[in-house]
Amino acid sequence: MSTAISYSETGAKQDAGVKLDQAIFGVEANHELVAQAYRTYLANGRVAGATTLRRGEVRGGGKKPWRQKGTGRARVGSIRVPNWRGGGVVFGPTGNENHTLALPTKMKRQAIRQALAQDVEADDRVFICNEDSNTMSVIDPRTNTVESTINFTSFDEDPRPPFRYVTAGVAPSHAAMIHKPLYHGCIDAHGAVPSPDGRLLATSGRGSSNIYLIDAAQKRVIGNTPNPAAAATTNAERISTGILVGREPHEPTFSRNGKELWVTVRGEDRIAILDVEAALKSLRGDASAQAIRMYVGTLPGPAQVHRPGRAVRRRRPDRCVPHRPVRPARCGPRSAGAPDRLHRCPSVRPGGHRLTA
């Protein structure tokens, strides 16, 4: 049975701790339940204070502005119509909205136990990615202070003045310095996605077309090499170039088992599927490791993959077939009496079909 620190009425710390009941403070963590209870709590405390006036509630507008015909203007019956300035609002809030959510009593009690049982561990950290400075801030939730900064830029790697834009461990002050000519590394870092086991973090360089993997325990970019120009005032490591995936990669997503990393490549309208183990070997210097397993074509401008394990089923490396049957694609007009067939359109690159209505 675990114990907690206790204090007397005068505020003095007592030597003997208070024993905690394991039935309340020893339950297994269920973050989804706590999040649901928190959303319910916020929704039930919400006040529907926003109100708007509809057409019939706005003062004035009882007289027709001009006669129906003969003026050359569009017909109108009131100056308070919604498409006029000062008119009523269509489908606006009225103050009668009900935002309350219900949560079963057993779930509510279990969520309270979850909240009481959760404690901040000594190695728990919060990672926040800064797209302007290409850095990742590491925050200690126990003290709510910035513990360190993970740098994705080449600044502070060379003691010469052109490279001296940042003091090690401190984020840059403005975004203009991240696109300087004397530069290598990540540009426009986007997203800080943890792996299911919490060992790795993935972030994408939207401007440099690459993916970086970060060791969450050591708080360092995987693949960094010793800095040959290291000195007392420079970084000891040289930033890795990451894994090149394609033009403008967006926020990555780990699979449920953590073995794959799905990255939407917005500039090329496809999804890059990375083998995490092979990617780690590639970053650590294994030239034979193939990090990218395959590409999947998508609609223009993909943003992020959500639960890739259930979205699609892979059959061939160059094709991705949805679970749900779709209407057959046709590249041209179908002749009378000919059955619908799936045609390979020569104008589309391998890996995708053009669906027509």
Alpha-carbon distances of 276 from 186, 273, 281, 304, 314, rounded to whole Å: 19, 9, 9, 18, 18
Contacts of 23 (CB under 8 A, 6+ apart): none
Strand segments (E) across the chain = 3-4, 18-19, 126-130, 135-140, 145-151, 189-194, 200-205, 210-215, 220-221, 225-226, 237-238, 243-244, 253-254, 260-265, 270-275, 292-297, 312-316, 319-322
Work out whether strand 243-244 and strand 189-194 pair parallel, antiparallel, or are unpaired. unpaired
Lowest mean pLDDT among 186-195, 205-214, 283-292, 323-332: 323-332
Q: Give phi and psi for 175, each to the nearest 5.
A: -85, -15
Could you tell me if 119 and 141 are in contact, meaning their C-beta atoms sit under 8 angstroms apart? Answer: no
Q: Higher model confidence: residue 142 or residue 45?
A: 45
CB atoms under 10 Å from CB of 251, counted, come to: 18
Is the per-residue pLDDT at 350 higher than 50?
Answer: no
**Which amino acid type is present at position 11?**
G
Percent of the chain predicted with pLDDT > 70: 74
The span from the CA of 46 to the CA of 206, in Å, is 38
Contacts of 117 (CB under 8 A, 6+ apart): 24, 25, 26, 27, 29
Q: What is the pLDDT of residues 80-101, one digit of tens each?
A: 999 999 999 999 998 889 999 9
Query: Which tokens hold the place of 106?
Result: 């057993």
Residue for token pair 């992020």: 304
Is the per-residue pLDDT at 239 higher than 80?
Answer: yes
Neighbour-count burial for 182-212, b at 16+ CB within 10 Å, e otherwise:
ebebbbbbbbbbebeeeebbbbbbbbbbbbb
Reported pTM: 0.57
Q: What is the pLDDT of residues 115-136, one digit of tens each?
A: 887 776 777 888 888 887 788 8
What pLDDT was estimated at residue 348?
A: 40
CA 278 to chain centre: 24
Is the per-residue pLDDT at 209 higher than 70?
Answer: yes
Three-state DSSP class for residue 278? helix
What pLDDT was estimated at residue 39?
A: 94
Q: In the chain, what are the domain boundaries? A: 126-322, 326-357
What pLDDT was estimated at residue 342?
A: 39
